[in-house]
Amino acid sequence: MLLTGPEALKSLTRAYESNRALPGFVAYNLETVQAIVAAAEANPEHPVLIQAGSSPFKHAGRDPLMRLALDAAKASSVRVGVHLDHSRDLDEITACLEAGYTSVMIDGSHLPFRENIALTREAVRRAADYGAWVEAELGALPGDEDVSTNASATTTAMTEPAQAAEFVAETDVDALAVAVGNVHGFTATPVRLDLDRLSEISSANPVPLVLHGASGLPEPQLKAALTRGVAKINVNAELRRAYLQAVQAELPKAIPGSDVVSIWSAGRDAVTEAASRIIRQLA
């Protein structure tokens, strides 16, 4: 069933209060949407979010991917939300809210502080009309959302705790994505989160924190983040890698020139397994 905004926010709050996190899994196409839902159904007690967002829209088209994710969530036997990841565009946000998204992320992290606040406030105003909740971002992550560039693990613009408190108070956002050493995609050297900074950010403001770039994060770091206010984690590269490795292994077995279904299925099953593992890690 498709989670409503208030239901998902309740799950987010519960996760926040019990040092757990909601997973937000990025989906690009039919197979990844199916895999995320299958993983949710294999772990029925844990709600998940399909992140059918801005960047995957460039691949699949906004309306087809939006519909696909919403229909799959509605048809599911378990609680699945649909979240707009990394949107910089208020029109896109309105379109997703109108379609029935559970939650949206307004990403003004590239803007000066005051402009980020103004943009985020407008997204919060729009989302309120639809009962959806809003995630915003303060600070900047290295790396790329769609390809793993083995980016350096050095974050140039970490989130400042005092600014985070001011930002949350002025925007009324429901969740805040932070830059504390986390990186989009895999990194050449293991990521080390600035856990003291994370604690300070969490103590300074009342909303759950979101950790983007969770792929490849060593498990102790992830667990430490969950005890410091992180209640949603975003995962993409880990699922892409599972998909590609399975496809690579399946290709030599497929009937040359004609068998594509076995390839897609192998990729989908591998993503299901990877997403299931992450759901269990967060429980």
Which range touches ligand 13P (CB under 6 A), out of 33-41, 122-130, 236-244, 257-265? 236-244
Q: Report how many residues bind ligand 13P under the rule CB under 6 A.
A: 15
What sign has the CA pseudo-torsion 8, 238, 153, 148?
negative
Query: Is there a catalytic annotation at residue 85?
Result: yes
Site pattern 204..223 for ligand 13P (x: CB under 6 A): --------xxxx--------
Q: Cβ 258 to ligand 13P, closest distance in Å?
A: 33
Tell me the residue type at 204. Answer: A
Q: With both helix axes pointing from N to C terminus, report the angle between 62-75 and 90-99 in degrees, rounded to the nearest 10.
A: 30
Residue showing tokens 């105003």: 125
What does R_g of the chain's alpha carbons equal in angstroms?
18
Residue showing tokens 């040359």: 256
Q: Cβ 260 to ligand 13P, closest distance in Å?
A: 26
Residue 83 binds ligand 13P, judged by CB under 6 A: no
Q: Cβ 236 to ligand 13P, closest distance in Å?
A: 3
Q: Which is nearer to ligand 13P, 50 or 237 (CB)?
A: 237
Q: If we measure between CA atoms, which residue out of 152, 158, 166 comes closest to residue 196?
A: 158
Q: Which two tokens stand for residue 201?
A: 């950010």
Which range touches ligand 13P (CB under 6 A), out of 65-73, 118-126, 201-209, 233-241? 233-241
Binding to ligand 13P in span 105-144, by CB under 6 A: none
Residue 52 binds ligand 13P, judged by CB under 6 A: no
Residue 39 binds ligand 13P, judged by CB under 6 A: no
Q: Cβ 106 to ligand 13P, closest distance in Å?
A: 13
Q: Is 81 helix (H, G, I), strand (E, B) or coil?
A: strand
Residue 155 φ then ψ, to 5°? -90, 130
Contacts of 107 (CB under 8 A, 6+ apart): 54, 86, 87, 88, 136, 137, 177
Which range touches ligand 13P (CB under 6 A), out of 14-22, 30-38, 189-197, 230-238? 230-238
Q: If we measure between CA atoms, which residue out of 129, 45, 85 comes closest to residue 232?
A: 85
Q: Cβ 134 to ligand 13P, closest distance in Å?
A: 15
Q: Which is nearer to ligand 13P, 207 or 235 (CB)?
A: 235
Rounded CA separation 182/40 (Å)? 25
The residues assigned a catalytic role are: 85
Kindly list the residues in this chain that would bind ligand 13P in the complex (CB under 6 A): 26, 85-86, 145, 184-185, 212-215, 234-238
